[in-house]
């Protein structure tokens, strides 16, 4: 006995609808997979939620009374919060890389082969810039040396803090955001957009203003430029770590926040030359140094590419 015509038509229509629905679904998945800017948008809200939860866990573990309006974190609590922020960031990025990007986590830029030189150069650049900035401001009598405070515990906690901060921010903004934006836009457009986001994430920092936001935008360019050429994070991680660490050790606030300082100095008068309460990143000198390093990095990789092609 044959299948009635109406049932045949129903089966054909149903199969057609299933195939069409499958094709639409696959098209959307492919679009999501190949449009990096969609993945960047998708990660923002989960990042804010996950990091907030992990920070609360860190605060709870340290016994911090975060409901107190006058509460100020100790150095140990700052390190703990930064560590839990890093763990939350890594967890979220692992989930996105595995289930959304469908790539290995290491492809964010953690390959270590032949990267020791990059790491050392990054550390040296941050140290030289901050030492030079400090000496210039002393010479110009914008700041006055007060005293040195040698505290081994303070130095160790500072190193740990800025390691966690550097790795966490670089893996997010350069390793994931910049990496994905580069699949959708021209690499320089992607660098600019990621740098804007990097500046905005610091928008609630103490003592921030439009000038210091501009400084942070340039910092995003500085930290992301090498990634355009190498797809590797070790240079920006080292530079970010060194920049923050030596900025703090030489007595400056870091992005408006006060941390342990090896050198204590007095500011004669807060202005754009010395950076005032925001720190070195609020100064004209910071912009000048960043422009010099940005130009140097761009020149180095452009010349290297030219030599390799020839």
pLDDT band at 22 (very low <50, low <70, confident <90, very high): very low
* Range of weakest confidence among 20-34, 52-66, 221-235, 254-268: 20-34
SS3 content of the chain, % helix, strand, coil (to 5): 75, 5, 25
C-alpha span between 19 and 16 (Å, rounded): 5
Percentage of the chain lying above the pLDDT 90 cut: 81
pLDDT recorded at residue 33: 53
What is the separation of C-alpha 35 from the centre of its chain, rounded to a whole number of angstroms?
21
* Range of weakest confidence among 26-40, 204-218, 238-252: 26-40
Contact 147, 264 (CB under 8 A): yes
End-to-end CA distance of the chain: 76
Strand partners, 254: 257
The phi, psi pair for 32, rounded to 5°, reads: -65, -35
Contact 58, 83 (CB under 8 A): yes
Q: Tokens 């430029």 identify what position?
A: 225
Mind listing the pLDDT tens digit for each residue in 268-291? 899 999 999 999 999 999 999 999
CA dist 38 → 7, 46, 95, 173, 221 (Å):
42, 14, 16, 15, 22
pLDDT recorded at residue 26: 44
Give the gyration radius of the chain's Cα atoms.
Answer: 24
Closest CA to 146 of 271, 262, 284: 262
pLDDT recorded at residue 99: 95
Q: Which pair of tokens denotes residue 189?
A: 């457009």
The reported pTM is 0.89
C-alpha span between 233 and 244 (Å, rounded): 16
Tell me: pLDDT of 87 over 80.
yes
Tell me: pLDDT of 23 over 60.
no
pLDDT band at 151 (very low <50, low <70, confident <90, very high): very high
C-alpha span between 93 and 99 (Å, rounded): 10
**For range 179-183, the mean pLDDT:** 96
249 Cβ contact partners less than 8 Å away, ≥ 6 residues apart: 130, 155, 158, 260, 261, 262, 263
C-alpha span between 35 and 39 (Å, rounded): 7
pLDDT recorded at residue 72: 81
Residues recorded for the chain: 310
Strand partners, 145: 265
Mind listing the pLDDT tens digit for each residue in 121-140? 999 999 999 999 999 999 99
Tell me: pLDDT of 54 over 70.
yes
C-alpha span between 50 and 287 (Å, rounded): 33
pLDDT recorded at residue 306: 85
Higher pLDDT among residues 63 and 174, named by residue: 174
Mind listing the pLDDT tens digit for each residue in 220-254? 999 999 999 999 999 999 999 999 999 999 999 99
pLDDT recorded at residue 1: 47
C-alpha span between 46 and 43 (Å, rounded): 5
**How confident is the prediction for the chain on average, in pLDDT?**
90
At residue 144, the 3 state secondary structure works out as: strand
Higher pLDDT among residues 70 and 216, named by residue: 216
Tell me: pLDDT of 141 over 70.
yes
pLDDT band at 170 (very low <50, low <70, confident <90, very high): very high
Q: Which pair of tokens denotes residue 207?
A: 């003592």
Tell me: pLDDT of 63 over 90.
no
**For range 142-161, the mean pLDDT:** 96
pLDDT band at 120 (very low <50, low <70, confident <90, very high): very high
pLDDT recorded at residue 104: 96
Delimit the domains of the chain by residue range. 1-34, 110-309
């Amino acid at each position: 006995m044959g299948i009635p015509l109406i049932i045949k038509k129903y089966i054909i229509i149903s199969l057609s609808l299933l195939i069409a629905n499958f094709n639409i679904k696959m098209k959307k998945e492919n679009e999501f997979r190949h449009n990096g800017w969609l993945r960047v948008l998708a990660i923002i809200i989960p990042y804010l939620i996950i990091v907030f939860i992990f920070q609360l866990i860190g605060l709870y573990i340290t016994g911090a009374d975060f409901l107190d309006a006058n509460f100020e974190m100790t150095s140990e609590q700052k390190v703990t919060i930064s560590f839990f922020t890093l763990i939350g960031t890594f967890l979220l990025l692992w989930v996105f890389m595995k289930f959304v990007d469908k790539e290995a986590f290491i492809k964010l830029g953690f390959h270590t082969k032949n990267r020791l030189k990059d790491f050392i150069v990054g550390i040296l650049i941050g140290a030289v810039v901050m030492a030079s900035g400090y000496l210039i401001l002393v010479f110009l009598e914008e700041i006055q040396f007060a005293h040195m405070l040698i505290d081994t515990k303070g130095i160790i906690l500072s190193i740990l803090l800025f390691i966690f901060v550097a790795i966490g921010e670089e893996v997010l903004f350069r390793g994931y955001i910049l990496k994905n934006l580069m699949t959708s836009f021209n690499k320089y457009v992607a660098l600019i957009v990621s740098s804007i986001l990097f500046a905005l994430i610091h928008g609630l920092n103490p003592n921030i203003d439009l000038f210091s936001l501009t400084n942070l935008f340039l910092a995003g360019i500085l930290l992301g430029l090498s990634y355009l050429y190498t797809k590797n994070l070790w240079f920006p991680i080292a530079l970010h770590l060194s920049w923050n660490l030596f900025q703090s050790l030489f007595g400056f606030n870091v992005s408006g926040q006060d941390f342990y300082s090896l050198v204590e100095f007095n500011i004669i008068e807060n202005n754009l030359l010395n950076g005032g309460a925001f720190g070195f990143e609020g100064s004209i000198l910071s912009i000048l140094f960043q422009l010099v390093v940005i130009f140097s990095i761009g020149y180095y990789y452009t010349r290297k590419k030219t030599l390799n092609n020839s």
